[in-house]
Amino acid sequence: MRLPEEPDNPPQLNILPMIDVIFALLTFFILSTLSLTRSEGLPVNLPKAATAQPQSSSQIVVTLNQQGQLTLNRRPAQLGDLQTRIRALMGNNPNAVVVINADERVSHGQVIAVMDRLRLIPGVRLAIAAQRPAP
């Protein structure tokens, strides 16, 4: 007894599962890259701002913690010598942005005092650090 012959269909490669796997990997890498943030300041509770945007250029970070202590790039600093130290850092990179990273509980007067000192530096570019509110 002879079996009926099946027509010779060319073999097919189904690439849909492969595309699904590639998109899953791509999604994983994008999400893991977004979670890698570079933090140069000391841990402070930043105020929330819906219009906060990341800064892409090199940064000089001035931090005011909850107790009002001042640091410059994680090193203790005094308000009086802040200008000279930032000028020295900006000498290496004139496009640097000075980011004021102030705790939300620090008095407004202290932040203004720091900003006032920094604005005396010619060509300084200031930014104030903030967090986006959680959705």
Residue pair 99/42 in contact by the 8 Å Cβ criterion? no
User: Helical H runs in the chain?
Assistant: 16-34, 82-92, 108-119
Question: What is residue 22's predicted lDDT score, i.e. its pLDDT?
Answer: 93
The beta-strand segments (E) located in 1-77 are 59-64, 70-72, 75-76
Question: What is residue 61's predicted lDDT score, i.e. its pLDDT?
Answer: 85
Question: What is residue 37's predicted lDDT score, i.e. its pLDDT?
Answer: 56
- Enumerate domains of the chain plus CATH numbers: 59-128 (3.30.420.270)
Residue 120 CA to residue 105 CA, distance in Å, equals 25
**Quick one: DSSP state of residue 56?**
-
Residue 41 CA to residue 63 CA, distance in Å, equals 6
Biggest CA–CA distance in the chain, Å, is 103
Mean pLDDT by 10 residues, the chain (135 residues): 68 83 90 66 60 66 86 86 84 78 85 86 80 71
Torsion over CA: 32, 34, 40, 42 (sign): negative
